[in-house]
Amino acid sequence: MVHIILWSTFIMSLSAGVLLLCFQMPATDGVGVCFVAFAIGNGLYACWVSPRVKFCCKVLVKSLEPVSKFSDINRPIYLMLGVGFLWMSLWLLAVIGAINFYFPPLIIILLGLSLAWTTEVMRNIANLTVSRVIALYYLRGMQSSTHFCFQRAGTHNLGSACLGSIFVPTIEALRIVARGLNLLEGEDEFMFSCAHCCLKVMTSIFRNGNGWAFVQIAAYGKGFVKASQDTWELFERREMETVVDSDITSSICFLTGVCSGSMCVIVVAAWTFTVHKGFTATISLLAFFVGYLMTRIAMAVPHACVSCYYVCYAENPNNRLFDDTIRDRQNLIKSGRDVVVPTPRVPSRYARR
């Protein structure tokens, strides 16, 4: 499935882009170019991370083993999907009403940001629920009540879920941008210095706000910042930074959402162009947005399980529930037999030219 997600996202986003370009309207051309550009980047990313796929699959399969012991663990996901569907239905009505405001584009952008944050909160509530169930199973051997964990996530941990929903996507996005700027090494000394500084700053911020924190928030009720700091200290103590930093589970979950959104665009754009030609670009973007966000909520279970696997292993590597998957990976990296794929850079011989 990991291979299918990587390459089906490339195919679907490229198909959506080509379809929009075929409509030959300025608005659809602009959106179509964005989809095609993303598809090209996705294809290059799929080739680049191919050496990591085997380990990712191994961790994913191992981390999902405890799920079978909790028959109702998917109920919070279904509930969040239902709430999300109702909320998005109301949101779409708000978007239609925004046309009557003085600055419709600004209002729609603000509504889009509001929807993104709200659905991220829903996803993190589901994430916290699953994380508590799985983390307590790993750490204490308990089979917790999913219903109670869901109530706790929606009350006691709600503040951390809201805070994390703002900062984690922002920090992750800025970290990716900083890494991209770091590719300028050797091209321009001033630009490289700025990019290197930005990367260092974002790495420092990442220690105080990261997605791994949700496991300790769920298990111990810590605040978001404290949980982020403690989790990253655990990784450093176990020398796991390289292993977790090269994990592609979050990327797979993201690409699953993009694939779903692209499929929505293909269906909706074809229908809208026939019925309401002038709204093709707008409705296609809304369809992508809704499809992406709904799928991201649905992917909370595998994402939470993998996070619990790493964090709980860092707390107690000798737990009988863990095998030697991570330890073997660390040994291979240290011995140089399994080198983590570095970020590609422009060779200095080309930069000097």
* Domain ranges for the chain: 1-350
Whole-number pLDDT of residue 174? 75
Q: What's the Cα-to-Cα distance from 73 to each of 34, 134, 142, 257, 310, rounded to whole Å?
A: 37, 10, 14, 21, 20
- pLDDT above 90 for 345: no
- Categorize the per-residue pLDDT at 312 as very low, low, confident or very high, splitting at 50, 70 and 90: very high
pLDDT, average across residues 321-325? 88
Q: pLDDT (tens digit, 9 = 90+) per residue, 150-186?
A: 999 999 999 999 999 998 888 877 777 666 666 555 5
pLDDT of residue 132: 95
Per-residue pLDDT for 342 more than 70? no
Q: Give the type of residue at 186.
A: G
Whether residue 43 is predicted with pLDDT greater than 80 in this model: the reply is: yes
At 247 the pLDDT is 87
Give the separation between CA 226 and CA 249, rounded to whole angstroms.
24
As a whole-number percent, the residues of the chain with pLDDT over 70 amount to 89
Question: What pLDDT is recorded for position 21?
Answer: 93
More reliable by pLDDT, 338 or 79: 79
Q: Are 178 and 199 in contact (CB under 8 A)?
A: yes
Average pLDDT over residues 279-284: 89
pTM beyond cutoff 0.85: yes
How sure is the predictor about 205, in pLDDT bands with cuts at 50, 70 and 90? confident
Residue 179 is which amino acid?
R
Average pLDDT over residues 54-79: 92
pLDDT at 344: 44
CA dist., res. 267 & res. 272, Å (int): 9
Determine the pLDDT at residue 187. 53
Distance in angstroms (rounded) separating the CA atoms of residues 18 and 37 = 11
Mean pLDDT of 240-265: 91
